Amino acid sequence: MSKRFVALGDSFTEGVGDDDPGCANGVRGWADRVADRLAEGDEDFGYANLAVRGKLLRQVVAEQVGPALALEPDLVTLYAGGNDLMRPGVDIDAMMEVYDDAVARLVSTGAVVVLFTGVDGVKDPLFRQIRGRVAIYNEHTRLIAARRGALLVDMWAMSQLRDRRLWAPDRLHLNALGHAEVAAEVLDVLGVPHSLPRSALGPEDVISVRERRAQNLRWSREHALPWLGRRLRGESSGDSVLPKRSVLGPVLRRTADEPN
């Protein structure tokens, strides 16, 4: 089992959407959950999370891959590109060449490298608009994983992630339930036994057109407009955010009565 786990990426890996004031940066996320399991019974286990919200793929590669290599990990997770795909002028082919080079550098160290496809946003009006881009990104990712010998967490195939009840109010990030689903999938791909629960939410409630319109207006006011404002000002949500765990360190175990 891994002794030195380093997680790289953007808000997905930082844990945004899974609010937890007891964690660094105020968020927990799937990577912290994976680290919790990997650390069980191993006092020598170390975990670093260099991911920062709002980062584009080239920024993730330029700012995080070098520091990650310096930590000499034996397990690396990498997800980047989601923020790029929401930009109208994105060149996916060129972006994925940078990604491929980064994966090659990580794999060359002998570390186990885990990559991710994007989620299928078919049920969400926002994500449905870029569904074709995500599919192209996913095909590149699958080819890179196969060529470089990396493991792959296929979130596109995780149909449960299409349920909006697994997403935070901003509709861009997974909530605690969603992050727990991803953590379980990562551990499954690694072949690590675990007891993380899977979501069993049952049928979604049917809401009226009026209530759906009210929800959309609330979302636009509280989340979409601030995001658009940052874009117009050339700002990023991660401009003042530091990595939550910039060096390898022990995982603080939670007590039995705390949530997964």
pTM given for the model: 0.88
Q: How many domains does the chain have?
A: 1
Q: Is residue 165 assigned to a domain?
A: yes
pLDDT digits (tens, 9 = 90+) for 81-110: 999 998 889 999 999 999 999 999 999 999
Amino acid at 70: A
For 58-78, letters b (16+ CB in 10 Å) and e give bbbbeebbeebbebebebbbb
Using alpha carbons only, what angle is made at residue 248 by residues 246 and 253, rounded to the nearest 5 degrees? Answer: 105
Q: Is residue 140 assigned to a domain?
A: yes
Phi, psi of 116 (to 5 degrees): -135, 140
Query: Does residue 178 contact residue 12 with C-beta atoms inside 8 Å?
Result: no
How do 46-49 and 245-249 pair as beta strands?
Answer: antiparallel
Is 116's pLDDT higher than 90?
A: yes
Check residue 257 and give its pLDDT: 35
Q: Is residue 139 assigned to a domain?
A: yes
Is 256's pLDDT higher than 60?
A: no
Quote the strand ranges of 75-153, DSSP E.
Answer: 75-79, 112-116, 151-153
Q: Is residue 129 assigned to a domain?
A: yes
Q: Is residue 254 assigned to a domain?
A: no
Q: Is residue 82 assigned to a domain?
A: yes
Domain holding 40, by residue range, is 4-198+243-249
pLDDT digits (tens, 9 = 90+) for 151-210: 999 999 999 999 989 999 887 899 999 999 999 999 999 999 999 988 777 777 777 777
Q: Is residue 116 assigned to a domain?
A: yes
Bridge partners of 50, per DSSP, are none
Check residue 25 and give its pLDDT: 95
Distance set, CA 204 to CA 43, 86, 158, 162, 234 (Å) = 43, 27, 17, 12, 38
Report the alpha-carbon distance of residue 192 to residue 207 in Å, rounded: 40
Q: What is the CATH number of the domain that holds 99?
A: 3.40.50.1110
Of 71, 61, 56, 25, the closest CA to residue 242 belongs to 25
How do 75-79 and 112-116 pair as beta strands?
Answer: parallel
Q: Is residue 173 assigned to a domain?
A: yes
Of 169, 174, 216, the closest CA to residue 199 belongs to 174
